[in-house]
Structure 1
């Protein structure tokens, strides 16, 4: 291949808990899909985090939001659920890039350490970081859930479909606690 030949973009995998998916996550998904030919959104089962939504519910919310994207973009995005070491998931999907979003310095410190560990496991897989949109930098799933639990306005942080699903889940959780 000569220097002028078009180079095929690698497959990227964007892992996360996405409990729930936020506008920040969706921004990274949209931007990642513009960069990579194929983007895999990998929803972690991670029972250690005690998610509000099941992995299938989280994947379903992401699929719903992806279906609303423009056709050339959404056709290059796939959503999977994984319950393994991230690097095993990346390799099994044929990806060579891990896509991560960064909101703040605290994210960078954690992600830098994770990228270093991942590189020790497989140095052929690169980690690419995208900075969060400045408007979305403070948005975090755990904060959105807390705001929703106390009946606060979450519409600036998650899409309408997720607002509905989150309100339903919070209502179920509150009724279970009573």
Structure 2
């Protein structure tokens, strides 16, 4: 008797990927055998990084997190999430929740996805308490305004963000921005 492999999709824009996203990825690998991190093209959100850059950012971080023996792959998609999940052979869509406001949106989305395909379940994972307030939007805003983003993203992601911000608005020559992980 063969055991069916549990496949999950964790979709998002990941612009940029944050420590909160990595927390969800790690915890999702406790409940699936294979996790596909689906990077949505989602040009409507006006991403800071291209889809290819976001895929690369996520892939670059995977060796630095524990996946509990599950395999993890990263793929870009620009279709309906349910179509992507079915194409990937997923039985579950993983979604992270930070606050009640997330729940309302995600609850509606899960209902619509269930109507589209009742064979694919949505699994909500609550953000860990230390990551509940992190959002990619806030990280970008803090970074653009010269704030310390190190507690919210990996050192590698921080470096990419700061480099991108420097391209957008060059900083004075005497400005130094820390790139080391916060204590």
Which residue in 2 is equivalent to 1:84?
79
Which 5+ residue runs of structure 2 have no aligned equivalent?
Answer: 171-183
The correspondence of residues 18-57 of structure 1 with structure 2, limited to 5 A, is 18-57=14-53
What is the DSSP-based 3-state SS (H/G/I as helix, E as strand, rest coil) of the residue aligned with 1:115? Answer: helix
The alpha-carbon distance between structure 1 residues 70 and 117, as it changes in their structure 2 partners (threshold 3 A), is: closer
**Aligned length, in residue pairs:** 170
What is the DSSP-based 3-state SS (H/G/I as helix, E as strand, rest coil) of the residue aligned with 1:67? Answer: helix
RMSD (CA atoms): 1.6
Question: Could you tell me which of 150, 170, 173 is aligned with 2:145?
Answer: 150
Which residue in 2 is equivalent to 1:69?
65
Question: Once superposed, which parts of structure 1, at least 4 consecutive aligned residues long, lie more than 2 Å away?
Answer: 6-9, 69-73
What is the DSSP-based 3-state SS (H/G/I as helix, E as strand, rest coil) of the residue aligned with 2:106? Answer: helix
8 Å Cα contact 2:97-2:124 kept in structure 1: yes
The correspondence of residues 127-146 of structure 1 with structure 2, limited to 5 A, is 127-146=122-141
What is the DSSP-based 3-state SS (H/G/I as helix, E as strand, rest coil) of the residue aligned with 1:135? Answer: helix
Offset of residue 96 of structure 1: 1.1
Per-residue CA distance 1:84-126 (angstroms, 9 max, x = gap): 1111100111111000000000000000000001111111110
Q: Does 2:169 match 1:174?
A: yes
Which 5+ residue runs of structure 1 have no aligned equivalent?
Answer: none
Name the TM-score, length of structure 1 as normaliser. 0.91
The alpha-carbon distance between structure 1 residues 143 and 70, as it changes in their structure 2 partners (threshold 3 A), is: closer
